Structure formats: C-alpha cells, structure tokens
Amino acid sequence: QVQLVESGGGLVQAGGSLRLSCAASGGTFSLYAMGWFRQAPGKEREFVAAISWSGASTSYADSAKGRFTISRDNVQNTVYLQMNSLKPEDTAVYYCAADPSPFGGSSTRAFTSWGQGTQVTVSS
C-alpha cells in the first residue's frame, strides 16, 4: 500500500489561500486515484476533491467548486490541493487518500490508504 504524508496546513485569514501537498511513497503512485477529505471537530469526514490516476478527470464537493483545485504530479508522486478564498467554515483537518482504481470517487470507503492529516484554520 502507498504511504501518504500531508503538509502545507496552517492558520490563514478569511479570503486567504493555502496549498496543501501530499507526498506518496511505497507504491506505484500513478495507479491510484487520489482524493482530499476534511474533518471538522464534531463532524464526519467529508469529501473535498478527487483526481483520476492520469490527472485528466477531477471532481469536487459543492463547497469546494470554484475555490479549490486538485492536481497531481506523477513524477514527484505528489498530489496538491490549492485552496483560495478560504472561509472560516473550511477549518478542519485535511486528509489525502489513495484509491486503487482509475477514477476515484467521493466515498471514504473507496480509499484504502490515508495520511495523518494537516490542520487548516481559517480565522474570520
């Protein structure tokens, strides 16, 4: 299984931007669809975005559309989440995850490998 390590979280003011990174090792990265999920205190983990193994197909939660962009570099074995126009309600621990299928989805059940998460805090 692939191992995942997220980075890039932090504290940002509302309206600001952050770029999360997720470095993969121990597997053939280009054979996994990748996703980003988030979990706020007291809430269930929710889907944010996903990208197919080639990078040609992406999908987003409604809350992320128009503000977040998922991308990947299959040479650097890294997936990114560019987050713009951040809002206080985006505050959560963000997790990247790997799905051993070409296109990925929005269900946590499809993803077999998870990182430990990175905290994103957006102040108002």
Q: Is the pLDDT of residue 116 over 80?
A: yes
pLDDT in tens, 17-37: 999 999 999 989 999 999 999
Mean pLDDT of the chain: 96
Rounded Cα distance, 91 and 5, in Å: 19
Q: Is the pLDDT of residue 104 over 80?
A: no
Q: Is the pLDDT of residue 111 over 90?
A: yes
Instruction: Identify the helix (H) or strand (E) that includes residue 113.
Output: strand 113-114
User: Please, which pLDDT band fits residue 14 given cuts at 50, 70 and 90?
Assistant: very high
Q: Is the pLDDT of residue 53 over 80?
A: yes
Q: Of 83, 122, 115, which Cα lies nearest the Cα of 7? A: 115
- Alpha carbon distances (Å) from 80 to 41, 42, 120: 23, 26, 14
Task: Please report where in the chains the tokens 């929710």 appear, as a residue.
Answer: 46
- Which pLDDT belongs to residue 124? 94
Q: Of 94, 101, 79, 78, which Cα lies nearest the Cα of 31? A: 101
- Which pLDDT belongs to residue 74? 96
Q: Is the pLDDT of residue 103 over 90?
A: no
